[in-house]
């Protein structure tokens, strides 16, 4: 109960700060609008107000404050506007509609899942190679690290252009960018996990004269499971970011990234914020789902108490 209260208190504080922030962010736009509609504003004239402090303006025109939470195209939309837009574009729209966030979310999600699958598979393979071969350890690991230092926003357009020029388009380029971001945490986590058995456990298998394959399947792989799941949770979130970034440079027509882009073209801040929230909720659901699978798997393995 106490925990629930604490969580609710934090949420309430965030919402309150958000509402409060809407006032200075939107007050100038609101005042221009109401003045144009014939209301009396101090001081009169948008030019006069341009360099004035937003808080002072809000204090002197307090009648306009409620309007800062109800603009059509606010600089910062209020929480209820974002919630309303989310409701509007998820529940009320048909999911086949081009304006449905469920439709856009699915476009992004499918690329995310494909990229995550490729990234995870690649990550596990690389980790197995790194753990078993000193040459791979020394040659692959530095490149894997370097690959993550390049801003993906710079790399994404080139991946798309290069793949397009060889005739690959659609979901694949986005999935490749997703995979590019998600393989890394899997490599790092799996290398750590596959190396987690201590000397004693390795010696024990040596006394049984176990083969390398037996050592891998019976010791290293099961021992790496908790590490794998920790990595997968980071990897899936990175995958989603990759898929969204992959939708930006092409001016894609569908996907959460496309919604973000279209929103910024037309100054539709409410649309941008609701797409952002949709992405965050989607990521939370994916991480939560992986957490659930982790619990079930580790419990069945007897590793969760």
Partner 1 sequence: MNTESNTQPVIEARQLDLVFQTNDGPVQALRDVNLTVNKGDFVSFIGPSGCGKTTFLRCVAALETPTGGSLSVNGMTPDEARRNRAYGYVFQAAGLYPWRTIAKNIKLPLEIMGYSRDEQEERVRKVLELVDLKGFGEKFPWQLSGGMQQRASIARALAFDADILLMDEPFGALDEIVRDHLNEQLLALWARTEKTIGFVTHSIPEAVYLSTKIVVMSPRPGRITDVIDSPLPKERPLDIRDTPEFIEVAHRVREGLRAGHLDD
**Region for residue 210 given its phi and psi (left: phi exceeds 0; alpha: psi -120 to 50; beta: otherwise):** beta
Q: Closest distance between partner 1 and the C-beta of residue 223, in Å?
A: 8
Q: Which of 86, 219, 241, 261 binds partner 1 (CB under 8 A)?
A: 219
Q: Closest distance between partner 1 and the C-beta of residue 186, in Å?
A: 20
Burial of 4-26, coded b for 16+ CB within 10 Å and e otherwise, reads: eeeeeeeeeeeeeeeeeebbbbb
Is-contact 89 101, C-beta < 8 A? yes
Torsion of CA 156, 158, 160, 163, to 10 degrees: -140
| Contact call for residue 230 and partner 1 (CB under 8 A) | no
Select from 149-157, 171-179, 220-228, 247-255 the region that touches partner 1 (CB under 8 A).
220-228
Element (H, E) at 208: none
Q: For residues 166 and 200, which CB has a smaller minimum distance to partner 1 in the complex?
A: 200
Q: For residues 110 and 201, which CB has a smaller minimum distance to partner 1 in the complex?
A: 201
Please calculate the CA angle 293-109-191 and round it to the nearest 5 degrees.
Answer: 50
| Contact call for residue 80 and partner 1 (CB under 8 A) | no
Please calculate the CA angle 230-235-237 and round it to the nearest 5 degrees.
Answer: 110
| Contact call for residue 210 and partner 1 (CB under 8 A) | yes
Phi, then psi, of 272 in degrees rounded to 5? -60, -50
Q: Closest distance between partner 1 and the C-beta of residue 207, in Å?
A: 4
Supply 142's token pair: 């530095």
Q: How many CB atoms lie within 10 A of CB 244?
A: 29
Q: Where are the beta strands (DSSP E) in the chain?
A: none
Please count the residues of this chain forming the interface with partner 1, following the rule CB under 8 A.
Answer: 20
| Contact call for residue 3 and partner 1 (CB under 8 A) | no
Supply 228's token pair: 């794998």
| Contact call for residue 79 and partner 1 (CB under 8 A) | no
Question: Which positions from 168 to 207 touch partner 1 by CB under 8 A, shown as an x/- string?
Answer: --------------------------------xx-xxxxx
| Contact call for residue 222 and partner 1 (CB under 8 A) | yes
Q: Closest distance between partner 1 and the C-beta of residue 105, in Å?
A: 36
| Contact call for residue 303 and partner 1 (CB under 8 A) | yes
Separation CA 121–CA 76 (nearest Å): 41
Q: For residues 232 and 283, which CB has a smaller minimum distance to partner 1 in the complex?
A: 232
Q: Which of 125, 225, 230, 276 binds partner 1 (CB under 8 A)?
A: 225
Q: For residues 164 and 208, which CB has a smaller minimum distance to partner 1 in the complex?
A: 208
Q: How many CB atoms lie within 10 A of CB 264?
A: 13
Separation CA 193–CA 187 (nearest Å): 10
Q: Closest distance between partner 1 and the C-beta of residue 229, in Å?
A: 13
Q: Closest distance between partner 1 and the C-beta of residue 216, in Å?
A: 12
Separation CA 19–CA 76 (nearest Å): 9
Which stretches of the chain bind partner 1, using CB under 8 A? 200-201, 203-210, 214, 218-219, 222-223, 225, 301-303, 305
């Amino acid at each position: 109960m106490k925990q629930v209260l604490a969580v609710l208190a934090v949420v309430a504080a965030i919402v309150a700060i958000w509402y409060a922030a809407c006032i200075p962010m939107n007050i100038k736009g609101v005042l221009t609008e109401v003045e144009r509609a014939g209301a009396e504003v101090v001081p009169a004239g948008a030019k006069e107000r341009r360099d004035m402090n937003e808080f002072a303006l809000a204090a002197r025109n307090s009648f306009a404050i409620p309007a800062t939470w109800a603009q059509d195209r606010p600089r910062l939309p209020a929480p209820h506007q974002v919630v309303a837009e989310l409701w509007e574009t998820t529940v009320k729209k048909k999911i086949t509609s081009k304006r449905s966030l469920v439709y856009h979310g699915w476009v992004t999600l499918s690329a995310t899942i494909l990229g995550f699958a490729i990234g995870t598979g690649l990550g596990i393979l690389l980790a197995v190679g790194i753990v078993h071969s000193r040459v791979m350890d020394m040659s692959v690991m530095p490149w894997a690290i370097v690959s993550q230092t390049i801003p993906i926003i710079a790399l994404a357009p080139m991946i798309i252009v290069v793949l397009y020029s060889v005739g690959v388009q659609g979901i694949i380029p986005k999935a490749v960018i997703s995979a590019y971001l998600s393989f890394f945490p899997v490599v790092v986590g799996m290398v750590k996990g596959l190396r987690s058995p201590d000397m004693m456990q390795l010696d024990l298998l040596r006394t049984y004269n176990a083969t390398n394959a037996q050592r891998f399947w019976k010791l290293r792989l099961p021992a790496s499971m908790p590490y794998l799941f920790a990595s997968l949770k980071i990897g899936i979130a990175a995958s989603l970011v990759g898929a969204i970034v992959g939708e930006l440079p092409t001016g894609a027509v569908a996907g959460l990234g496309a919604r973000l882009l279209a929103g910024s073209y037309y100054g539709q801040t409410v649309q941008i914020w609701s797409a952002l929230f949709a992405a965050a909720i989607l990521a939370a659901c994916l991480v939560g789902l992986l957490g659930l699978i982790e619990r079930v798997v580790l419990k069945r393995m007897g590793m969760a108490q």
